[in-house]
Amino acid sequence: MTARRRAANLRGCGLCRRAETESLLLPAAQPRRFLFLQGPISPFFAQLADALRGLGHTAWRINLCLGDRLFWKGPGAVDFTGRMGEWPGYLDAFLAREAITDLVLLGEQRPYHRLAIAAAKARGVAVTVTDYGYLRPDWIVLEQDGMGPESRFPRDPATILALAATCPEPDFAPRYATNFAKQARWDVLFHMASDLPRPFRHYESFLLHAPLPAYLGTAVRLLARGRESRAAAARVATIQPGSPCWLFAMQMETDYSLRAYSDFTDNDSALDLTIASFAHHAGPGAQLLVKVHPLDPGLKRWRQRVMAIAARHGAYGRVHLLDGALDADPAILASRGVITINSTLGFRAIQLGRAVKPLGRALFDIPGLTWQGPLDGFWQQATPPDPALATAFLRAIAGCLHVRGRFYDGPGLAAAVRGAALRLDRGLVNQPLAEVLV
């Protein structure tokens, strides 16, 4: 690829401009009008709106359910209590009436959000999507238009290498602790409140499962977490270095990265495909570890399901379930490679130098980073990611798509608000951001 074409690709992705530190500290050149929809189940959006107001912007919020209202403290909020069919017209009128310039939301695939993004794009309104980071544990993402396959991040290796050269060196050491108890309390409060019939009696939830059964299942899993974590760690410890062992990372079935960005309807179908391929192509001495997502709601008995699939394909005794709150790193390092639909664990596997096979449409599915051939060939032929490209990829997504922080905890929440406000105020979504300021 020529230098001229490479520069054109960078301009087309909106990722080439590098801001000077001094300019980031000045007031916004052009005040904008932000509209927030559903966000993290935390005060993050409310605090981000306050920060933007302090920089001279205007911020609005449309509440779609009672849970939304509980987590928005401050001015600018209105309620939409109509039916889904009325939502596009209501939102389009709101965008026009309030001269909205920017739409900010979490999760571009939620039904209300898909319709909102279409209306915003029709009017030339900028769309910013946030969510947990591709990098973990204490990063969040801000992206233009969408995440995963909707992301504007380049997929061409040469463009990624050039982009990484404009980004600061990231510090991947964790900075901010999590507070799982607070996160769980807020989650229960949001979803149970949103299940109440009034005043948002026509609200349509984005959840796949009803909240109460999911919380009961999660509670049962939490009671067994310690025992399951110890058993999983003991299983990983038995893996001999260099042995033919592989890891399949399950995902939350309610996650749109599975529901919208893959051809699977559930984990079962992905597991069946993977275990069948493993049984026939990985070799008789190979082992497959299946890691349950730590926040899986426990509505399916995964141990029985996975063992039944393994038995059906003649791999019983070579497939092992890892449950509990197991740190993923030892399991990744014990394996030659990782198979996933498009879990963020794939990013970590790339970071740790392990071969990766995504079964869905993942942001990291890039030649040189992941196995591009069929799954059947992965077991014998896959190679680790190219080290230079992996380093550049991680550096570029850290510098252009992320800020440090968390949605829930004091210092982490403050850092996330500060970094997100900076990107939005300066128009630096999908562009390099100086590490010293986040």
User: Could you tell me which residues are beta bridge partners of residue 402?
Assistant: 141
94 belongs to a structural domain: yes
- Whether 340 and 433 map to the same domain: the answer is no
- Whether 128 and 270 map to the same domain: the answer is no
- Whether 352 and 401 map to the same domain: the answer is no
CB 195 within 8 A of CB 424: no
| Of residues 109, 144, 43, 65, the one with CA closest to residue 407 | 43
371 belongs to a structural domain: no
Domain that includes residue 222, residue range: 206-365
pLDDT at res. 434? 65
The conformational region for residue 351 under phi > 0 = left, psi -120 to 50 = alpha, else beta, is alpha
User: Could you tell me which residues are beta bridge partners of residue 144?
Assistant: 128
380 belongs to a structural domain: no
Largest CA distance in the chain: 66
Query: CB-based contacts of 253: which residues, under 8 Å, 6+ apart?
Result: 208, 259, 266, 267
DSSP designation for 370: B
Dist. CA 180–CA 427, nearest whole Å: 32
Last residue of some domain: 315, 348, 365? 365
The total number of structural domains that make up the chain = 2
pLDDT at res. 300? 95
pLDDT at res. 30? 85
Amino acid at 275: I
- Whether 110 and 218 map to the same domain: the answer is no
Dist. CA 204–CA 202, nearest whole Å: 6
pLDDT at res. 209? 87
- Whether 147 and 289 map to the same domain: the answer is no
- Whether 88 and 219 map to the same domain: the answer is no
Dist. CA 3–CA 271, nearest whole Å: 43
What is the four-CA torsion angle of 52, 54, 58, 60, rounded to 10 degrees? 60
- CATH at 310: 3.40.50
353: phi then psi, degrees, rounded to nearest 5: 80, 25
User: Could you tell me which residues are beta bridge partners of residue 319?
Assistant: 288
- Whether 155 and 301 map to the same domain: the answer is no
374 belongs to a structural domain: no
123 belongs to a structural domain: yes
| Of residues 115, 121, 266, the one with CA closest to residue 204 | 115
- Whether 361 and 403 map to the same domain: the answer is no
- Whether 218 and 319 map to the same domain: the answer is yes
DSSP designation for 149: G
- Whether 34 and 87 map to the same domain: the answer is yes
- Whether 396 and 315 map to the same domain: the answer is no
Q: How far is CA 124 from CA 28, 57, 95, 117, in A?
A: 20, 18, 10, 10
| HEC profile of 11-34 | HHHCCCCCCCHHHHCCCCCCCCEE
Last residue of some domain: 330, 346, 365? 365
267 belongs to a structural domain: yes
pLDDT at res. 29? 55
Local mean pLDDT, 10-residue blocks, the chain (438 residues): 39 39 48 97 97 97 97 94 98 98 96 98 98 95 95 96 96 91 92 91 92 91 93 95 95 94 96 98 96 94 97 97 94 97 96 98 97 98 97 97 94 96 95 62
188 belongs to a structural domain: no
CA 4 and chain centroid, separation: 33
Dist. CA 303–CA 84, nearest whole Å: 39
- Whether 219 and 261 map to the same domain: the answer is yes
Amino acid at 345: L
185 belongs to a structural domain: no
